[in-house]
Amino acid sequence: MYFLAGALGEVRETVRRRFPGFGKLPEDYMAVNLAVPVGDAEHPEVSDLYNRILREAWSLADHLSGHSPIHLTEIESLLKKSQSGQGQSATEACFIYPEVSANVQGFVRSQRFQPRRLPFFDTGGGTVDQSIFIFTPPGPEEHLLYLTGRVLPLGSSHIERLAAESCGKFDCQSLEFWRERKERGEPDKELREAQSWIGEKLNRGTETTLALAKQKLFVQEQLTRIRVIFGGGGHCEHPYKLV
Residue 233 makes CB contacts below 8 A (sequence gap 6+) with 123, 124, 125
Cβ neighbours, 10 Å, residue 68: 10
Whether residue 6 lies inside any domain: the answer is: yes
Residue 186 makes CB contacts below 8 A (sequence gap 6+) with none
Greater confidence (156 vs 170) lies with 156
Whether residue 238 lies inside any domain: the answer is: no
Same structural domain, 53 and 135: no
Structural element, H or E, at residue 173: helix 172-184
Give the whole-angstrom CA distance, residue 158 versus residue 218: 37
Same structural domain, 152 and 227: yes
Same structural domain, 126 and 208: yes
Chain centroid to CA 190: how far?
Answer: 33
* Coil vs helix vs strand at 61: coil
Same structural domain, 79 and 136: no
Whether residue 240 lies inside any domain: the answer is: no
Same structural domain, 210 and 126: yes
Q: Report whether pLDDT(67) > 50.
A: yes
Total domains in the chain come to 2
Please state whether beta strands 229-231 and 143-152 pair in parallel, antiparallel, or not at all (unpaired): unpaired
Give the whole-angstrom CA distance, residue 115 versus residue 194: 33
At 22 the pLDDT is 86
Q: Report whether pLDDT(193) > 90.
A: yes
Give the whole-angstrom CA distance, residue 165 versus residue 197: 13
Q: Which domain holds residue 136?
A: 115-231
Same structural domain, 12 and 120: no
Are 12 and 62 a contacting pair, CB within 8 Å?
yes
Whether residue 109 lies inside any domain: the answer is: no
Same structural domain, 90 and 160: no
- Which of 19-33, 86-100, 223-237 is least confident? 86-100
Residue type, 54: L
Whether residue 34 lies inside any domain: the answer is: yes
Whether residue 54 lies inside any domain: the answer is: yes
Average pLDDT score over residue span 182-188: 90
Q: Report whether pLDDT(174) > 70.
A: yes
Q: Within the chain, how many helices (H) and strands (E) appear? A: 9, 6
Of the candidates 8, 224, 208, the one whose C-alpha atom is nearest the C-alpha of residue 115 is 224
CATH number at residue 146: 3.30.420.40
The single-letter DSSP state of residue 220 is: G
